[in-house]
Amino acid sequence: MMTTTLSMTFEQETNPWLAAEARFDQAAAELNLDDGMRKILSMPTRELTVYIPVQLDDGRLEVFTGYRVQHSIARGPAKGGIRYSPQVTLDEVRALASWMTWKCAVVNIPFGGAKGGVVCDPHVLSDSELERITRRYAAELMDIIGPERDIPAPDMNTNEQVMAWFMDTYSMHARHTVTAVVTGKPMDLGGSRGRAEATGRGCMLVTLKALRRFGLSPENCRVVVQGFGNVGGMAAKLMRRAGFKIVAIIEWDGAVYNPHGLDVEALLAHRKETGSIVDFPGGENIDRNEAMFLECEVLLPAATENAITSENAHRIRAKILCEGANGPTTPVADEILAEKRVFVLPDILANAGGVTVSYFEWVQDRQGFFWNEQLVNERLAEIMDSSFDAVVSYADKHRVNNRIAAYMLALDRVAFAIKLRGIYA
């Protein structure tokens, strides 16, 4: 097991599973966790690999590889999204599953952690091909998922429609409609109000808490956002409404900049119309590889893993790093950012708004009673506020950075649950 980040090669530092292990090791050492508990917490409970035969639209047969990793069920059913991408690997899914365990524990909701993925490129697949992949994948997972067992949700390149197909397939096998088997569903199929905005809203809520530590107000905060999707797009929209100046948005095909603040809703409309954020009349095109290093108060990476590594961390000029994405910062970059005194809102806290409202969705589905948006947002704010306070007070008490504090808090809670339950033999 990796215990020091200093000896990591670039390949190791950008391997999500090794990155997760490095943080885990540090937090476990700070907590003085015994070796047995470390072994239990560091390994997943279950990993399933499935091969998904699908007939493509042109009649050819193809076989796609899918994974589902359940990292922990100590505090409740496993919970975590499903991503469709050609880059999906078992190591990535394993890391993401463990992050879900820690994330659910940080915000203290009664779930364990899981993640799934299918190695495919949704951009070259038709909707009907995607539907067939989803349905067969769901059918292959039947024995290990369910409202009491493991509850999937959307992640990169999966959406409400994919969740509707997933729920329908599970329900056909169960012979009755089981809305609580997935979250992130369309509103008409048991989705929750406020779910679509939840992750971005959570990012904004913890950033607002961090601002108070710096004596800053949103009006004098410049924000740079990488990734203009579900998380980044919503965070940018809500933060602008709260008075922040969104000075730059970075996407895979370009970046736009306006020192006075971009009109985020107009930029969303421009992207909808043209398919890109580039050439937005309300800003100037800038180099997408340089935009992350603009001077700003808040940097919000909300695209993929490994955006900030040993190769570029020294160039970051933000006061606060709010991790909308999962794993955007490598362990080696963490150390560089600590030296630069960047205040990091770690992913397992900052983007936990999504899973929190997923939990609300699951609760509402099981009760068959739905809340209004105000109630969802109030309860989300309560949880994000108290989780921020818990992480920061852990960091102050144990003199560790916020990320290690968040891991310590999570490990402590999961270890406590395992101790109470005992080991079944």
Please name which of 150, 248, 240 lies closest in space to residue 201, comparing C-alpha atoms: 240
CB of residue 304 vs ligand NAD: minimum separation in angstroms? 5
Closest distance of CB 305 from ligand NAD, Å: 7
Token pair 């008075």 is found at 243
Cβ pair 308, 282 in contact under 8 A? no
115 is catalytic: yes
The C-alpha atoms of residue 269 and residue 101 are separated, in whole angstroms, by: 36
**CA angle centred on 55, ends 51 and 59, rounded to 5°:** 145
Nearer to ligand NAD, 31 or 291 (CB): 291
Taking contact as CB under 6 A, which single stretch among the options 7-15, 19-27, 221-229, 334-342 is the one that binds ligand NAD?
Answer: 221-229
Judged by beta carbon, residue 131 or residue 251, the one nearer ligand NAD is: 251
- Judged by CB, which is closer to ligand NAD: 70, or 183? 183
Closest contact distance (angstroms) between CB of 120 and ligand NAD is 14
User: How far, in Å, are 39, 164, 254, 302 from residue 285 at the CA level?
Assistant: 49, 38, 7, 19
Interface with ligand NAD includes 250 (CB under 6 A)? yes
Q: Please select the residue that binds ligand NAD; options are 226, 309, 329, 356, rule is CB under 6 A.
A: 226
| CB nearer ligand NAD, residue 226 or residue 258 | 226
Q: What is the largest CA-CA distance in the chain?
A: 65
Q: How far is CA 186 from CA 166, 192, 277, 422, in A?
A: 12, 8, 26, 39
CA distance 416 to 75: 10
Could you tell me the smallest distance in angstroms from the CB atom of residue 387 to ligand NAD?
14
Cβ atoms of 156 and 227 within 8 Å: the answer is no
- Do 296 and 317 contact (CB within 8 A), yes or no? yes
> Can you tell me the distance from the alpha carbon of 413 to that of 35, in angstroms, rounded to the nearest whole number?
17
- If the CB atoms of residues 190 and 328 are measured against ligand NAD, the closer one turns out to be 328
* Buried residues in 5-43 as b, exposed as e (16+ CB within 10 A): beebeeebbbbbbbbbbbbbbbbbebbebeeebbebbbe
User: Which of 80, 324, 331, 346 lies at the binding interface for ligand NAD (CB under 6 A)?
Assistant: 324
Find the binder of ligand NAD among 72, 101, 134, 326 (CB under 6 A): 326
- Nearer to ligand NAD (CB atom), residue 228 or residue 360: 228
CB-based burial label for 176 (10 Å; 0-12, 13-18, 19+): exposed
The footprint of ligand NAD on residues 351-390 (CB under 6 A) is: 351, 354
Binding mask 185-204 for ligand NAD (x = CB under 6 A): --------------x-----
Report 127-146 residues binding ligand NAD (CB under 6 A).
Answer: none
Given the residues 79, 103, 115, 237, select the one marked as catalytic.
Answer: 115
Site membership for ligand NAD, residue 214 (CB under 6 A): no
Least distance to ligand NAD, CB of residue 279, Å? 16
Question: What values do phi and psi take at 381, rounded to 5?
Answer: -60, -40
Contacts with ligand NAD in 152-181 (CB under 6 A)?
155-157
DSSP 364-395: HHHHT----HHHHHHHHHHHHHHHHHHHHHHH
Nearer to ligand NAD, 56 or 268 (CB): 268
CB of 231 to ligand NAD, least distance (A): 4
Using CB under 6 A, pick the residue from 108, 304, 340, 379 that binds ligand NAD.
Answer: 304
- By CB under 6 A, name the binding residues for ligand NAD: 155-157, 199, 226-232, 250-252, 302-304, 324-326, 351, 354
Residues marked active site are found at 115
